[in-house]
Amino acid sequence: MRLPDVSRREALRTAVALGSASALSACLDRESSEPVPTGDPDAKPARQHAWRAHVRHDDHGNTQLPRHQILLYLTLDGDGPPSATARDALAATLDALDSAYAWSHEGLLHSIAYSPAYFDRFDDSLPEDIDLPEPTALSPFESPTFDRQDAVLHLASDRSDALLEADRALRGEREKANGVSIPPLTDALYVDSRRTGFVGAGLPAQHQDAAGIPESRPVPEASPLFMGFEAGFRQNQATEDYVTLESGAFAGGTTKVIANLRQRLDDWYDEQTQEERVMEMFSPGHAAEGLVEGIGDNLGDDSQIDRFVDDIADHAAEYGRVGHAQKAARANRDDDGTVRLLRRHFESTDDIGSDQQVASLHFPSLQRRVSAFESVRRAMNGTDVTEQTPAVRQRVNNGILEYIFVRRRGYFLVPPRRHRVFPTPRPE
């Protein structure tokens, strides 16, 4: 059912995308009649990445990520460890945020994570069992800029007004958020980069004027993502438990990779049929068996990709194409067949470094070890398949590699909540 106040919602979406102060004031006025639930700092989960129990799910039990999200990349002054003053300031900020918003999609979910460069500020090193290398290129054709800021604060809510108010308060542009005084983040850190995005049915279609999407306006209204398919089916995602560090000082934490990809979908939509898109997104087997209807909601809670991972060489020979999910899934299972990565990607029109609206994707992935992400990402290159047949090339007929251009990548440690404020490498 279509909501009656479409114009207001569109104004809010635009406001998140632009981060504009004037748009924000306008939406605050309009949204004020619907209270945003406030929070109890004592009721927050011990894991910062505990989101699933606090967001919407679809009819199949698939997680519906908060529709509006912001990433604030943060940097400390100087070279050494953070000062006691900075520590107190950040603690006060995050505590205030906890009071201001319920831990839910109707309030605000947030998590702060720290980079290897941050931990390098200390004399101690991280425990051996924490797998957090410096970011690196993961394909034979990409040259991303690495996000080596000290920290990244991820904010997410279905309420764009709540998200924007928190964002502005955190950046010192207003004093209060949801009625609670928020000491700005900028007392401890400065915001090096602010990135925004959205996910969920309707939003990609409404943002398809961005560069990178053809003028035919092909993004289906029902699609949660620009490429026209659902993703993150429950059976093809790691659980939060699985990605959580089990022991050591950071038990209850996880690692987080965040990439930003530019999307160029002219050929994806205008040169290919839906059947070809299914082949390249899932697998040629999905197309041959007609498994995917429309955006793929009929797949329920399982993309069925595991049925086709052993067919890659045959598919390459028979169809001259292989699927994105098919390649990645090869490396995304442990010895027991359990999925290793918990992907939480969302769309954007950010073009980092310019004010232009360009279709892009922010790709956070949670996993116990960053090396698990790296192996899945490398499997996605399909380099072995290009050796088997010239029909599958480095980036052509090779999943979706033709249409995505990695621009940024950063690796971070998400500490458990008890260590979220400037952790040392060996917290007690």
Partner 1 sequence: MNRRELLGGTLALAGVSLAGCAGLVETRTAGVPPVLENRPDGVYYPSHVEGMSAVGTQTSGDYAVGLFYSYPHRFWNVNGDSVSLTEIDSDDAVHLMASVWDPETGTVLPETGLSLEIVQDGSLVSQETIYPMLSQPMGFHYGANFGLDGDGTYTVRVSVGAVATRKTGAFADRFTDPQTVEFPFEYSEAAKNDISFEQVDERAGTPGAVEPMEMDALPDATAPAPDALPGRSLGAAMSNDARLVATVLDSPPEGVDGEGPYLAVSARTRYNRMVIPAMGLSGRLSRDDETVFEGELARTLDPTLGYHYGAVVDDVQPGDGLTLSVDVQPQTARHEGYETAFGGLLGGMPDVTMQVP
Binding site for partner 1 (CB under 8 A): 137, 139-143, 211, 262, 264, 266-267, 319-321, 351, 353-354, 356, 358, 383, 386-387, 389-391, 393-397, 401-403, 405
Nearest to 344 by CA among 262, 253, 256: 256
Closest CB to partner 1 among residues 196, 397 = 397
- For residue 382, how many C-alpha atoms fall within 13 Å in the half-sphere facing its CB? 33
When the beta carbons of 176 and 217 are compared against partner 1, the nearer one is: 217
Residue with tokens 């698939």: 62
Which residues, other chains included, contact 10 with Cβ-Cβ below 8 Å and sequence gap of 6+? 206
Query: What CA–CA distance (Å, rounded) separates 280 from 397?
Result: 7
Cβ-Cβ contacts under 8 Å for 124 (sequence gap 6 or more): 424, 425, 426
Distance in Å, CB of 405 to partner 1, minimum: 6
CB of residue 210 to partner 1, shortest distance in Å? 10
The Cα 326–Cα 413 span in angstroms is 28
Which residue type does 43 have? Answer: A
Residues 6+ apart with CB under 8 A from 78: none
Cβ at position 362, least distance to partner 1 in Å:
17
Give the distance from CA 230 to its chain's centroid: 14
User: Dmax over Cα atoms in the chain, in whole Å?
Assistant: 63
Closest distance to partner 1 from the beta carbon of 323 (Å): 15
Phi, psi (rounded to 5 degrees) for 398: -120, 75
Amino acid, single-letter form, for residue 19: G
CA 325/CA 143 separation, integer angstroms:
23
Q: Which is nearer to partner 1, 13 or 395 (CB)?
A: 395
Q: Please, where are the H alpha helices in 220-322?
A: 240-243, 266-270, 274-281, 284-288, 312-319
Contact at 8 Å (CB) between 373 and 109? no
Asked whether the beta carbons of 280 and 380 are under 8 A apart, the reply is: no
- Output 159 or 321, the one with its CB closest to partner 1: 321
Shortest distance in whole angstroms from residue 372 CB to partner 1: 24
d(CA 425, CA 126): 5
Nearer to partner 1, 229 or 319 (CB): 319
Q: Which of 343, 323, 321 is nearest to 332 (CA)?
A: 343
Of 69 and 263, which CB lies nearer to partner 1 in the complex structure? 263
Select 61 or 141, whichever has its Cβ closest to partner 1: 141
- Provide, rounded to whole angstroms, the least separation between the CB of residue 353 and partner 1: 8
Residue 357 Cβ, how far from partner 1 at the closest point, in Å? 10
Cβ proximity to partner 1: between 14 and 139 the closer is 139
Give least dist CB 265 to partner 1, A: 11
Nearest distance from residue 71's CB to partner 1, in Å? 21
Output 80 or 353, the one with its CB closest to partner 1.
353
